[in-house]
Structure 1
Amino acid sequence: MVANCKNWVVHYRRPQKARIELLHQLIGLWELERQVIASTGTQIVCMNGIARFAPIEGDISRYYEEGTLETSDGTQPSISFSRRYLYCAEPNGLVIFFDETPRRLFQRFTTIKTGDGWEGAAEHACAPDTYRSLYRFELPHGFAITHHVEGPRKAYTIITNYRRCI
C-alpha cells in the first residue's frame, strides 16, 4: 500500500539519519495560516486550519490539512478545504507525493542545513502552470512553504506558515 512510495523514488537509497529526523520532527499537529497574493501584491485569499503529519513507517509520513478559506474582500462565503500528501525522506532531502492512486510526484528537493534549520527548493510543472517552491524548516517551532505560481492565467504566490499546536 503506502510502502510502495519507495518504488517511486528513483535510485532509492536509505535516507540519511538527518532527513529521517527532519521528517520525524514534523509529526503531530500544526496550526496553518495561508495567504494567496496576486502578482500585484494584493491578497486574494486567506486560509486558516490545522495540518497533521502522521507516521506510516520509518521514512514516510502522511500529511493532511483542513480548514476554512475566505476571500480577502469578504464578498464570498467561507469555503472548507482539505488536502493530503505523502512525505518521504530521501538520502539528501524529501519527496512529496499526492496521496492518491496512482501516486503522482508533487515535488522532490534537497534539504540544506541553514543555521538552526533546513531549507529546500523545488519546482512542479502542472501544465501549463509552474510551481516554484521554497521550504524553510525551523523545527521544532515552525516551518513555512512558499509557492510562486506562474502560467497563462495564473500569477500569484501562496505563503503558508505553520506553528506547532500546543
Structure 2
Amino acid sequence: MTSPKPFMPTERQLGDFVGSWTLSRSITPAQGAQARFEGEARLSRTADGAAYEEAGVLYLEGAAPMKAERRYRWAEDLSVFFEDGRFFHKVPAKGGRTTHFCDPDTYTVDYDFSAWPVHTVRWTVKGPRKSYVMVSRYAPVAAP
C-alpha cells in the first residue's frame, strides 16, 4: 500500500489574483464592538504590476453604515505597496505568514490559499493602542 502524497501548495503568481473578488471581512477588537465589511476587490494589471482597489460598506455596531475603500500597488513578485509607494509586505507565494512593523504596531498576516480560488487573509494587529484580528475572505465574482 502506498502512502498518500503530502499536500503541496501551489505557488501563486500575480496573474492568479487579477480580476474581481467578493470580499467579506470581520474585524474583532480585543475590546469593543466588532465590525464587518462587505464589498468587492479588484486587481487590475498595470505597466509595473497591478493596482488593488476595494470598495464596500463598513458596518460598525451602534453607527450608521459607511462607505469604505482602500488601494494598494502590487509588484510581479507579490510585494505590496501603499499608494504613496512605501513597502507594506510581501504575499507568501504558497500562502503562510509574513509581518509588517509600523512603529509601534506589529501586523502579522496569514495567507491561506488551501481552498483556492477562495482564500482568506488573517491580520493580527498588536500595539500600545491597537489590538484586533481582521479576517478577509475573497471569492471570485461569478460571471454574469
> Could you say whether these structures have the same fold, taking a TM-score greater than 0.5 normalized by the shorter chain as the test?
yes
Instruction: Tell me which stretches of 4 or more aligned residues in structure 1 moved more than 4 Å.
Output: none
Per-residue CA deviation, residues 44-96 of structure 1 (Å, 9 max, x unaligned), is 10100000010114x7111100000011x3x1011111111111132xxx210
Partner of 2:100: 124
* 2:58 is the alignment partner of 1:69: yes
1:106 is aligned, of 79, 84, 88, to 88
Give the Cα–Cα distance (whole angstroms) in 2 for the partners of residues 105 and 67 of structure 1: 24
Give the Cα–Cα distance (whole angstroms) in 2 for the partners of residues 98 and 137 of structure 1: 23
Distance 1:33 1:122, change over 3 A: same
2:15 is aligned, of 2, 7, 24, to 24
Distance 1:30 1:138, change over 3 A: farther
TM-score (structure 2 length as normaliser): 0.82
Contact 2:92–2:111 (8 Å) recurs in 1: no
2:42 is aligned, of 52, 65, 84, to 52
Contact 1:50–1:65 (8 Å) recurs in 2: yes
Partner of 2:4: none
What secondary structure does 1:31 align onto?
strand
The structure with more helix, counted as a fraction of residues:
1
The structure with more strand, counted as a fraction of residues:
1
Unaligned runs of 5+ in 2: 1-9
Q: What is the root-mean-square deviation of aligned Cα atoms in Å?
A: 2.1
Equivalent pairs counted in the alignment come to 133
Give the Cα–Cα distance (whole angstroms) in 2 for the partners of residues 145 and 43 of structure 1: 21
Partner of 1:83: 70
Contact 2:54–2:71 (8 Å) recurs in 1: yes
Unaligned runs of 5+ in 1: 1-17, 112-117
* 2:108 is the alignment partner of 1:163: no
What secondary structure does 1:83 align onto?
strand
Q: How far apart are residue 43 of structure 1 and its match?
A: 5.8
